[in-house]
Copies of this chain bind each other. A is one copy, B any other.
Amino acid sequence: MTVDLLLSPKTKRPAGEPCCEPVVYPDVEREQAARMATIAKALGDPVRVQLVDVLRKHAGKVCVCELVPLFDLQQPTVSHHLKVLRDAGIVGSERQGLWAYYYVIPDALEELSAWLS
């Protein structure tokens, strides 16, 4: 594979000369990068990936009381992970009496998937 000559520094150059001119990263893409990082960060824990996985495998909404026993974790910890996912816009929640139901909002995941492709 050949090196991209447009970007690569010269193999031989006068000592002291910078190897390449500074490149500015566009601000628009900086914002998109921040958004992608936010989503990815929320998925950066095995428990949260599994939570998303379970929620996606059920078209409807899933009760928190069904999610907790899936893990070797206490209820507050699962609740915390669900909040992280919700803050990232990956899942939504809805209260019905005593129970809370969570569901996947596909937009965020699709956004990340689109950026990856």
* B residues less than 8 Å from A79 (CB atoms): none
B63 and A7 within 8 A (CB): yes
Within 8 A of B (CB), among A94-117: 96-97, 99, 101, 109-110, 112-113, 116-117
How many A residues have CB within 8 A of the partner chain?
Answer: 55
A55 to chain B, nearest CB (A): 10
Q: Is A22 an interface residue (CB 8 A)?
A: yes
Q: Is A16 an interface residue (CB 8 A)?
A: no
What is the bound-complex CA distance between A20 and B69, given in angstroms? 10
Within 8 A of B (CB), among A67-107: 69-71, 96-97, 99, 101
* B residues less than 8 Å from A112 (CB atoms): 116
